[in-house]
């Protein structure tokens, strides 16, 4: 029986009940639809070590009349992606560099506004509580989402410790790093189109171990929502071949601020401990410098500048707590 919805929505709906072979096909399509669009059922089956009939049954199982219809939709998605280059050329044709900057920044602002409108306050509050109360928090982002995962894990470690940033190129290594995840733990999975199957499988594994799952993704149709305890949606659309990440980064910034306001003393203690490490080992003078002004240009050493930066960060956090 046929059903409505694009191929991502169909896979999202059927994925939990798929067989091992069908999940392998779904995984390949999610990450490599641009290749699958030009592969016959036999060739796709050969690539994934499943039979041609398994591939045909997969297409029927997610609501297509047959493999050709599913392949046609995959081809349409590829065409849409390729047309992004043409759309970008049309949109920015004849514009000066300053006009391109203005247009891109305006698009980013639109994404932030869309993120503000789509973000569920209850889900946001739940995510804050999960991240505060979990014994260990695992953070995962693949490809373009890797910088977001690193940013989040860096500040989470300043706030509460017990953070594991999953950095790997293979799914087996992901499982190795989160082997001890359990019911007292949580994982944050960050993924936007094209969705990462490695991230999805990590969330499935965490869910099977009764860990709390938080996702930062683009919509309810994202397969990342299959195993999550709460979903934080952020807009990432842009008329370009480059995805805009200001929406998800703004969500992450908001999470960090909310967590800081929940545990201001822990943040201050962490900053003071870090300052002590900098002073004892003279790390800061080799890695960080503060903003330079005329009065301090020739008087502040690198360590003193770093100390001033740390104290100002602590004061900002304290003021935010008082205002809150």
pLDDT digits (tens, 9 = 90+) for 288-304: 555 655 555 444 445 45
Percent of the chain scoring above 90 in pLDDT: 17
Q: Answer yes or no: do 26 and 128 share one domain.
A: no
Q: Answer yes or no: do 225 and 308 share one domain.
A: no
Domain assignment of residue 1, yes or no: no
**For residues 1 and 65, what is the distance between their CA atoms, to the nearest angstrom?**
8
pLDDT score for 173? 81
Q: Answer yes or no: do 115 and 254 share one domain.
A: yes
Parallel, antiparallel, or unpaired for β 230-233 and 212-217? parallel
pLDDT score for 305? 55
Choose the weakest-confidence range: 51-55, 175-179, 219-223, 263-267.
Answer: 263-267
Task: Render pLDDT for 87-112 as a digit per residue (tens, 0 to 9).
Answer: 455 454 555 656 667 666 777 777 78
CB 155 within 8 A of CB 256: yes
**For residues 307 and 274, what is the distance between their CA atoms, to the nearest angstrom?**
10
CB 186 within 8 A of CB 137: yes
Domain assignment of residue 65, yes or no: yes
Number of domains in the chain: 3
Domain assignment of residue 127, yes or no: yes
Domain assignment of residue 97, yes or no: no
- Secondary structure of 286-309 as H, E, C letters: HHCCCCCCCCCCCCCCHHHHHHHH
Band (pLDDT 50/70/90 cuts) for residue 137 is very high
What's the whole-number average pLDDT of the chain?
78
215 or 2: which leads in pLDDT: 215
Q: Answer yes or no: do 269 and 253 share one domain.
A: no
pLDDT score for 268? 75
| Range 47-67 average pLDDT | 90
Q: Answer yes or no: do 57 and 163 share one domain.
A: no
pLDDT score for 185? 95
Band (pLDDT 50/70/90 cuts) for residue 152 is very high
pLDDT score for 4? 53
| Range 264-281 average pLDDT | 70
Q: Answer yes or no: do 250 and 165 share one domain.
A: yes
Q: Is the pLDDT of residue 52 over 70?
A: yes
Cβ-based neighbours of 238, under 8 Å, separated by 6 or more: 104, 107, 108, 111, 244
Polymer length in residues for the chain: 324
pLDDT score for 134? 92
Q: Which domain holds residue 66?
A: 7-89
Q: Which range among 65-79, 126-140, 259-273, 276-290 has the greatest average pLDDT?
A: 126-140
pLDDT score for 310? 56
Domain assignment of residue 82, yes or no: yes
Name the token pair of 59: 């297409």
For helices 20-36 and 41-48, the axis angle rounded to 10 degrees is 120
**For residues 27 and 50, what is the distance between their CA atoms, to the nearest angstrom?**
13
Q: Answer yes or no: do 165 and 258 share one domain.
A: yes
Domain assignment of residue 114, yes or no: yes
pLDDT score for 312? 67
User: Residue 181 sits in a domain of what CATH number?
Assistant: 3.40.50.10490
Q: What pTM does this model have?
A: 0.61
pLDDT score for 58? 92
Task: Render pLDDT for 204-259 as a digit per residue (tens, 0 to 9).
Answer: 899 999 999 999 988 887 888 888 888 998 877 644 445 678 888 888 988 888 88
Q: Answer yes or no: do 109 and 75 share one domain.
A: no
pLDDT score for 167? 81
CA atoms within 13 A on the CB side of 240: 15
Domain assignment of residue 309, yes or no: yes
């Amino acid at each position: 029986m046929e059903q409505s919805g694009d191929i991502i929505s169909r896979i999202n709906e059927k994925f939990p009940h798929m067989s091992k072979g069908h999940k392998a096909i779904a995984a390949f399509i999610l990450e490599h639809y641009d290749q699958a669009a030009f592969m016959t059922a036999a060739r796709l089956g050969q690539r994934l070590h499943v039979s041609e009939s398994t591939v045909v049954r997969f297409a029927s199982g997610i609501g297509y009349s047959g493999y050709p219809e599913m392949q046609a939709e995959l081809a349409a998605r590829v065409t849409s992606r390729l047309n992004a280059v043409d759309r970008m050329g049309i949109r920015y044709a004849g514009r000066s560099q300053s006009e391109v900057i203005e247009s891109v920044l305006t698009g980013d602002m639109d994404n932030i506004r869309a993120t503000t409108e789509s973000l569920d306050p209850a889900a946001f509050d739940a995510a804050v509580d999960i991240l505060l109360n979990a014994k260990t928090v695992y953070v995962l982002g693949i490809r373009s989402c890797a910088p977001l995962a690193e940013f989040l894990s860096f500040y989470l470690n300043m706030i509460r410790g017990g953070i594991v940033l999953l950095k790997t190129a293979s799914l087996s290594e992901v499982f190795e790093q989160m082997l001890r995840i359990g019911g007292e733990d949580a994982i944050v999975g960050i993924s936007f189109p094209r969705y990462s199957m490695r991230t999805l499988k990590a969330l499935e594994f965490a869910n099977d171990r009764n860990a709390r799952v938080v996702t930062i993704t683009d919509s309810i149709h994202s397969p990342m929502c299959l195993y999550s305890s709460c979903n934080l949606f952020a807009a990432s659309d842009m008329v370009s071949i480059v995805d805009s990440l200001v929406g998800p980064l703004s969500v992450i910034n908001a999470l960090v601020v909310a967590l800081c306001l929940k545990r201001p003393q822990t943040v201050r203690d962490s900053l003071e401990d870090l300052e002590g490490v900098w002073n004892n080992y003279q790390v800061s003078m080799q890695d960080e410098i503060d903003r330079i002004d005329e009065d301090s240009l020739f008087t502040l050493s690198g360590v003193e500048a770093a100390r001033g930066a740390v104290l100002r960060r602590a004061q900002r956090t304290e003021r935010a707590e008082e205002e809150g």
